């Protein structure tokens, strides 16, 4: 991603959080992480996040999804003696379609699988989260999620986050791609 694209996504995410009543410090707003997973289609497959704290015991984040933006399918594997990240998603704004291992949703999915990436989505047990609802994902469980037709904000509470060890179904994904300088 280009530096200007990252800056635009950070500003957009900061505004969404502000409109949602979530106050960030200036430093937090400047450091909003913008993840396009190296796929260069941020509005389709991407995520914006603020990490408040991440220690060897626990982690707290805010996740921002633009309309229909998808965080691709992945899991949090064991790391050493740690069984992997356990995370609770609490929907704060909008609607979130969360998919995990389990019986597939009856009928058609409410989410839209990103075109060209269909082969990399394999879990279809659907959980629909509205503001005030939450769901806990155990370590090692494949999952992916998408905002509905409006923006979505999710508070994530978890054990230690080691994003660099996340295992994505899509082999094209680069968890921390390099930022391109402007021409």
Q: What is the mean pLDDT, run by run of 10 residues, along the chain of 183 residues?
A: 94 98 97 95 97 97 98 97 97 98 90 98 97 98 98 98 95 78 61
**Given the DSSP bridges, would you call strands 87-93 and 134-137 parallel, antiparallel or unpaired?**
antiparallel
Whole-angstrom distance, CA of residue 174 vs CA of residue 36 = 9
CATH of domain 3-168: 2.60.120.10
Are 27 and 52 in contact, with CB atoms under 8 Å apart? no
**Nearest alpha-carbon partner for 71 in 104, 108, 29, 42:** 42
DSSP state of 16: H
Looking at residue 177, its pLDDT comes to 58
Looking at residue 105, its pLDDT comes to 76
Looking at residue 178, its pLDDT comes to 63
Looking at residue 183, its pLDDT comes to 58
Give whole-number Cα distances, 117 to 33, 63, 102, 121, in Å: 23, 22, 21, 7
Residue 34: Cβ-neighbour burial (10 angstroms; 0-12, 13-18, 19+): buried
Are 64 and 48 in contact, with CB atoms under 8 Å apart? yes
Looking at residue 89, its pLDDT comes to 98
Alpha-helix residue ranges (DSSP H) falling in the chain: 3-19, 26-30
């Amino acid at each position: 991603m280009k530096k200007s694209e990252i800056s635009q996504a950070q500003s957009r995410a900061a505004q969404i959080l502000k409109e949602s009543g979530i106050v960030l410090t200036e430093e937090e707003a400047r450091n909003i992480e913008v993840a396009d997973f190296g796929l260069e289609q941020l509005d389709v497959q991407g995520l914006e996040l603020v990490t408040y704290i991440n220690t060897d015991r626990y982690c707290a984040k805010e996740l921002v999804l633009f309309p229909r933006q998808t965080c691709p399918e992945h899991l949090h594997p064991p790391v050493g003696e740690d069984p992997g990240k356990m995370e609770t998603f609490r929907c704060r704004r909008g609607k979130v379609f969360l998919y995990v291992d389990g019986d597939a949703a009856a009928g058609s999915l409410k989410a839209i699988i990103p075109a060209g990436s269909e082969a990399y989505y394999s879990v279809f047990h659907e959980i629909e989260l509205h503001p005030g609802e939450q769901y806990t994902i155990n370590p090692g469980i494949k999952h992916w999620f998408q905002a509905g037709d409006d923006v979505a904000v999710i508070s994530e509470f978890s054990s230690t986050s080691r994003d660099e060890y996340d295992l994505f179904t899509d082999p094209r994904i680069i968890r921390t791609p390099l930022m391109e300088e402007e021409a």
